[in-house]
Amino acid sequence: MRHTYRCPLRWADMDAFGHVNNVVFLRYLEEARIDFMFRLAPGEGDASFKGGSVVARHEIDYKRQLVHRHEPVQIDLWVTRIGAASATIAYEVKDDDAVYVRASTVVVPFDFASGRPRRLSEGERAFLGVYFEEPEAAAA
């Protein structure tokens, strides 16, 4: 199953070249991830994604320029790997007829109190499992 987040743009997301700046797409991915991990995922408090998680890695491919408009852009998000202490999230930023960005992020749950990464809980693994898809052979 894929989670769909409709991400609002801001006018200032554009840079002097008049299109959405490449760095801002990572901000859009963060928003989609926060909607997924902080709002949709179960659990509150320190032992949850919301209590702390860090990014270990991003890969991002830019396919097409995006210019500011008043309508949100669609971000599809799913899970391609569930490890002991990390997971990989894949995304597609798109409209019905265009893909702007394909990307993936390795996320690590983190305990800010101890300053250390922590293992995924059973509940987190179950939640992530609902959105799991085998990565394609030629995934971005």
Candidates 7-15, 41-49, 80-88, 127-135: pick the segment binding its own copies (CB under 8 A). 7-15
Nearer Cβ to its own copies (23/130): 23
Tokens 């769909």 found at:
4
Compute the C-alpha angle 36/30/15, nearest 5°. Answer: 145
Give the three-state DSSP class for 61. strand
Candidates 52-60, 76-84, 89-97, 120-128: pick the segment binding its own copies (CB under 8 A). 52-60
Rounded to the nearest whole angstrom, what is the least distance from the CB of residue 85 to its own copies in the complex?
15
CA torsion sign, 44 to 73 to 55 to 16?
A: negative
Cβ distance 106 to 86 under 8 Å? Answer: yes
Examine residue 98 and tell whether it contacts its own copies (CB under 8 A): no
Nearer Cβ to its own copies (11/122): 11
Distance CA 124, CA 111 (A): 15
Distance CA 119, CA 112 (A): 13
Number of amino acids touching its own copies (CB under 8 A): 34
Nearer Cβ to its own copies (86/127): 86
Residues in contact with its own copies by CB under 8 A are 8, 10-12, 14-18, 21-23, 26-27, 30-31, 34-35, 38-39, 52, 54-62, 65, 68, 70, 112
